[in-house]
Structure 1
C-alpha cells in the first residue's frame, strides 16, 4: 500500500507541535501579521486543527505565551465606571493579578523578558495586543497618537512592576495596592486620555505643504 503524504492528522503531539510553531511565528511576525493559516503551515497541520485545539488566534497566543491570565476576562473591570479614572483602575487590576497566585508565573515571565530576546518580543506583543490596545480602543483619542500612548503606558506599568516585584524598592514594594494605584494611576491616566499635543506624529502622518 502506498504511503499517504500531505499534512499529518491529529495525534497526541499535534497540540504541542502547533504551540511550537505558533511561538516561532508570533515571535517572527508579531501578533497582527501572524495568521492561523501561517501557523498551521509551520506546524504541518490543517488550519481546522488549530481552531479545534485553541479556538481563536487570541486564545492560541495566550497558550503559546503560557499566559497566567486572559486579559479579555479581566479588562472589563477597568472599563467599568467610565474613562475618567481608567488609569487608576488599570493599575489596580494589574497589581491585583501580580498579588494573586497568578503573579508567580507573571513574575517569571517578566524576569525572563529582561534577559531573553524571544521572551521580550512575545511579552511585548502580549502587552500591546492583548491589554493596552483593548484599553485604548475604548477611549476617544487621536488614532495617530495611539502607538505613543501605548508605549508610555507600558513604560509606566513595566517600571512599576520591576521596582515593586523584582528590585523590591521600598516603600513602593510594601505599599498597599490601592495606595500604589492611587499614586501611579493619574500618570497612566494622562498617558491614556491627557493632552499629548507635543507628541510627534509618525512620518507618514505629518502634514505636508502643498
Structure 2
C-alpha cells in the first residue's frame, strides 16, 4: 500500500500513541494548576506529557481548546464523585457527608479550584469558548441541585425544585469565594468559615417531617400516665 503524501514527519504527528490524548490532558492539568493560564504553553504541556508538540494541535487545535478539555476532565471527576456519594449515602446522612466531602476538597485539592477559576477567566476573555464554559457550569449546578433535592425532599429519586436550585447556587458561590480567597492569601483558613456555612445551610433546610418521627412511649407507661376525661354531668351527680 502506498504511503500518504507528507512523509515520515506527517506520519509521526498523525499516528500517536493510544494514550497520548489522555496524557496531554493530565499534563495540562498539572501545568495549568501550577502555573496558571498565561504561563502555560503548548510546548511545556507536551514536554510534561512526553509527546510530540504537534499532537496538541492534532487533538485539540489550540491551547484554549486543550485547557477546556482539561477543565472538562476535572469537572467530570468532580461530578462522578458527587454522584457516587449521593447514590451510596442514605438521605438522612447525605447532607453531613456532602459537607465533609466539600471540606476535604477545599483542604486537599486546591489545584482543582485553580483549574476551575482559570476556566472562568477563559470564558470571560474568549467569546468562542464562553458558551462551552457556561455549559460546564450548568452541569455542575444540576449535579449539586440533585444532591440538595435528595437531602431536602428525603427521596432517592427526588427531582430538583426551584428552592433546591437556589440552595445549590448559594453553596457553590460561597465555596468558590472561600477557595479563591485561600488561593490568593495562604494565611486565610477557609475551614472555620466553611463549618459555619454548613451549620447555616443545615439549620435552614426544611427537611421532611417523616425523618423525625415522635418518640413513642411504652404501652404500660402510656396507660399509667393517661388522665381520663371528666364525664358529663359529674358535678350534678355529686350535688
- Bin of the TM-score, shorter chain as denominator length: 0.3 to 0.5
Structure scoring higher RCO (CA < 8 A, sep ≥ 6) equals 1
Larger Rg over CA atoms: 2
- Higher fraction of helix: 2
User: Scaled by the length of structure 2, what TM-score is found?
Assistant: 0.41
Given the two structures, how large is their TM-score scaled by the length of structure 1? 0.45
